[in-house]
A = this chain, B = another copy of it.
Amino acid sequence: MRVMGTSYGCRLGLGSLALVAVVLASAPARAEVSAETAFVFNTFSFLVHGFLVMWMAAGFAMLESGLVRTKNTATICLKNIALYSVAGIMYYLVGYNLMYIDVGSYFGSFSFLYNTSAEELALLNADEATPEMVDAVVAGGYSVMSDWFFQMVFVATAASIVSGTLAERIKFWPFMIFTVILTGFLYPIQGSWSWGAGWLSEAGFSDFAGSTIVHSVGGWAALTGAVILGARKGKYGPDGSVHPMPGANLPLATLGTFILWFGWFGFNGGSQLALGSAADAAAIAIVYVNTNLAACAGVVVAMILTQLIYKKIDLTMALNGAIAGLVSITAGPDVQNHLMALFVGGVGGALVVFAIPLMDKLKVDDVVGAVSAHLVAGIWGTLAVALSADSFFEQFVAQIKGIVAVGVFMVVTSAIVWLVLKYTIGLRVDEEAEEMGLDKAELGMEAYPEFGHGSQSI
């Protein structure tokens, strides 16, 4: 039960905590939410918001499918369903315990492997449930496995970010090995510092739904990988020119972005971690609205800026504007008023317009723009929390601490893993395979065998 208690306390708003206490302590004298009703609401919130976040895995799959070339499309589809699967297993076997119990006591805590909490099992297996059995379960606040489900889809999101950046040249199995380590160890360790009630949360670091803890983590891993892996062949000319390699299926990229936007209501809304009181319900409503406003602003600002700078609007920039707006608001959708949400999301949209060409200048080849949308906007969003804090300066310092700590940890550990893979089994397909496309080289198939020239086209 310690696991939930910790997580519950850590990611829960203050107003909610007070209310839950009231509910748990007293008989329903007023027309309030009963403790068991609150338990059902809290659990159902994790499940509903969790399935929305699970659906984001499809969003990344479609976004990336749309933005790679046809000759690498089947491979990116495979990577996306494979990484979600690996994340689910690793976070069950290792990650959740590591994140929400603690790193030190970890190796004695395999008990949950047998099943969910002892109290819930006792209730579910009882021939006749007693009020005491129900009370023991209800005291937990929500069902343990609903929390596990909700936390699991977050680690999958972090892993999804990596696949897009490194597309079109990374080998399949080394990528999967990195995913195993990211989802089983790297993500949970840094997550334990904040959401696991560790030193970063004690230092005042605040990241409501994971601008840093999820999106920057994926972004740092992707950036480190992109640097070590190198750019796609022919992407950057010796004269500094950038050779565009346009995505093969932009409606799919659009669909993917809409899926992410849709799923983000679960990502941010569910991170209230409770629905069992009027305060929690109202807080979630505010989170939904801020999430939507920030994404809207990201799109509009990205569109206007590209029109002003390039005299044309780039669809993929508008899509990345939406994602950047969403990432930006993720650290503080609860604390910001609605105009602030528009501002935070709009700045996110602007950042992505400048970050994507900047990455190309630095010859960091990010196939889908994920580093710009998830890492750059994630840093901005984390800092922006300070704008709504009681003490701007104090919060700003705490936010910097979190950003730097997570960044250093992720860059160092990711680099080690990427480099070990590079110098052992190899990280990159050979030139011939890259030219031919990973679909034929690694999978022996084509994503669109009847369309156009298939893998010969570019």
CB of A315 within 8 A of CB of B78, answer: yes
Q: A48 in the interface, Cβ–Cβ < 8 Å?
A: yes
Q: Mark A430-458, 1 if CB is under 8 A from B, else 0.
A: 00000000000011111111111100011
Bound Cα distance A285, B322 (Å): 32
- Assuming the A-B contacts A248-B450, A319-B81, are A92 and B293 also in contact, with contact meaning beta carbons closer than 8 angstroms in the complex? yes
Q: Out of B33, B126, B142, B148, which one reaches A36, CB within 8 Å? A: B33
Q: Out of B15, B44, B55, B448, which one reaches A124, CB within 8 Å? A: B15
CB of A315 within 8 A of CB of B137, answer: no
Q: Out of B30, B39, B450, which one reaches A281, CB within 8 Å? A: B39
- Assuming the A-B contacts A123-B278, A278-B137, A281-B146, are A300 and B85 also in contact, with contact meaning beta carbons closer than 8 angstroms in the complex? yes
Q: A37 in the interface, Cβ–Cβ < 8 Å?
A: yes
Q: Out of B30, B33, B447, which one reaches A40, CB within 8 Å? A: B33
Q: Out of B32, B51, B443, which one reaches A313, CB within 8 Å? A: B443
- Assuming the A-B contacts A293-B92, A296-B89, are A78 and B47 also in contact, with contact meaning beta carbons closer than 8 angstroms in the complex? no
Interface residue SS majority, chain A: helix
In the complex, identify which listed stretch (A58-66, A222-230, A372-380) lies at the interface while the others stay far away. A58-66
Nearest Cβ on chain B to A419's Cβ, whole angstroms:
24
Bound Cα distance A113, B337 (Å): 8
CB of A134 within 8 A of CB of B322, answer: no
CB of A282 within 8 A of CB of B313, answer: no
Q: A69 in the interface, Cβ–Cβ < 8 Å?
A: yes
Q: Mark A109-123, 1 if CB is under 8 A from B, else 0.
A: 000011110001001
Contacting B at CB under 8 A, from A267-286, are: 269, 275-286
CB of A137 within 8 A of CB of B282, answer: yes
Q: A324 in the interface, Cβ–Cβ < 8 Å?
A: no
Q: A218 in the interface, Cβ–Cβ < 8 Å?
A: no
Bound Cα distance A18, B88 (Å): 33
- Assuming the A-B contacts A51-B52, A296-B86, are A447 and B285 also in contact, with contact meaning beta carbons closer than 8 angstroms in the complex? no
CB of B292 within 8 A of CB of A54, answer: yes
Contacting B at CB under 8 A, from A6-28, are: 13-15, 18-19, 22-24, 26-28
Q: Out of B135, B258, B292, B315, which one reaches A88, CB within 8 Å? A: B292
Bound Cα distance A36, B445 (Å): 56
Chain B residues with CB under 8 Å of A445's CB are 246, 250, 314-315
Q: Out of B89, B250, B303, B452, which one reaches A293, CB within 8 Å? A: B89
CB of A145 within 8 A of CB of B288, answer: yes
Bound Cα distance A342, B90 (Å): 12
Bound Cα distance A246, B446 (Å): 8
Q: A84 in the interface, Cβ–Cβ < 8 Å?
A: yes
Chain B residues with CB under 8 Å of A285's CB are 43, 46-47, 116, 143-146, 149
For the complex with contacts A78-B318, A248-B449, 16 further pairs of A-B residues with Cβ separation under 8 Å are: A15-B123, A33-B40, A43-B281, A46-B285, A47-B285, A54-B292, A58-B259, A61-B254, A62-B255, A81-B254, A81-B318, A85-B298, A88-B296, A143-B278, A249-B447, A312-B442
Q: A35 in the interface, Cβ–Cβ < 8 Å?
A: yes
Nearest Cβ on chain B to A306's Cβ, whole angstroms:
10
